Structure 1
Amino acid sequence: MTIKEIQEEIIDEFESFEDWMERYDYMIELGKSLPEMEESLKGNENLIKGCQSKVWVHSEMQGDKLHFFADSDAILTKGIVALLLRVYSDQTPQDILNNDLFFIDQIGLKEHLSPTRANGLVSMIKQFKLYALAYQTKLS
């Protein structure tokens, strides 16, 4: 699936919930279903700066696509990370760099987060794009 298609799927899923409590519950469930990240990948080099909670993101090239691994010590943040992984993982660096995330505004996520969590979300997105840029530069 393309990044656009995945985002549209997420928007459809969130529209099925009646209120934000249900949406938070869904994100918490997404976080719980996130595969465990190896402890060896939870070093400072993978720690995202600017997040209230601890968030680690690691990437590897698999063929021509980037695969991401991530984790957080906060359950809601882990759910947000799970959404970002769903959108960005197994996409080409070029596609990650050329596609904006519209699902965040469409589902109203940023406005339902505390200011510090919203800043953390921006930091997470920035880190995914930095990984994509680094790999694209290596490929050029």
Structure 2
Amino acid sequence: MEFIDGDGNIIVPKAVRPIIDLEETILGSKKGAKRQYRYGKLHIRDYDTHYTVHMDKVDPRSSPLGHLLVDAPEYLAGAAAAVIVGRRVGAAVYSRCKKEGKSTSDAAIDAALAGYLAGSSAGNIIANAAGLLKKRSE
């Protein structure tokens, strides 16, 4: 059996039960796990047949921004890209709609939809690219 997964997590069989009191958390990417837990900087994901375990450098419960900067910069990069692209596309669509004579509410709806779609696409692309770069550098 392989004991390290593709993300560098230690794989622990279900037969090995944790002896510490685990706190279920929503913080972190579940990556297909049924549940996830945190104990300080320890991050545990619970799958059907095994657990995966890794240590974060920064506990997201005590320093969410620090955790994003140090342990999960791909999410921060994706969020920044989403905001920047979404705002620019939304503003451009709003201006074009107003020049075409659309009402303010119709222009705002078109701008919000275009900004959301463009921003989420850009954010996803940047987060995935940054995640790949992060994996290569580790």
More helix by share: 1
Whether these two folds match at TM > 0.5 is no
Higher relative contact order (CA 8 A, sep 6+): 1
TM-score normalised per structure 1: 0.29
TM-score (norm 2): 0.29
- Greater strand percent: which structure? 2
